[in-house]
Chain A
């Protein structure tokens, strides 16, 4: 029964990893959009 904590840990870890990666993508997107705007090419 105690093993269930490992199951939840695995599921949570999976979504934390995906969340962190998606967060970096969003951050990089906004950084590039800002750079493009500064270059006068923003859409």
Chain B
């Protein structure tokens, strides 16, 4: 099996799905001749042409609006928002149109749409190229929100998203793009949307994470193991709808939970996970449910020391693991 980066896995999924199904189209800023600013769509336009790989104007609302129109007319569009930070103008289209199309038409219409967007900091992207925006969308029933953390899942989940008949927000951590590598089988396989996975089994406490934070949590767990703390890491993979069963099973076993997310602490998606645990696993808890997240500031700063202060990293996770284990 070939070892690939996360972005190569995503590119593989796009190529394979476009070859498999002629109704799959890709649209977004610079996705065509430029191949995407991160090279996720490189080579697509050469193979599939301008009719299926569409360079759009810098207008996110239009990108998603056009994609919704195509979706209800029989296409399976994969719209790219160049940076998740720029998704705000499209929220009306996503939340008010795409998310409720099936509901408001009582199942007569639906919207097989994927919106891919690179998110996350730690790459010196400054205020407009670093944010985590998943919590805007995990609040909207009718959407599915997916964040892969490793290349295998990235390919399989993107395929599942493209084949899904309802809108899927697919967030890719841009620092993970080339940092995270793993074995990716050639050819077709699907990782279903929904189930979380136990990325590392452990006995003493559970760390729940997604995206780059899963990679960091696994790193921290390895270090904790050297100190005799056996950490279980649950990788959510799909944020919404959340896989309560896997989360609760793990916490019932370990009795201690730490939720890690890069987004701002207050109202971040991890807050919802913490609430689920507190509400549904209360009789099993041996310590308070803890959260580790970015601070509540308006954006990730550009200055290196400030960015480092903002970002959750393996050292910060390890310190929190020690604190939770000692409780």
The answer to whether A and B assemble together is no
User: B: which residues have CB within 8 A of A?
Assistant: none
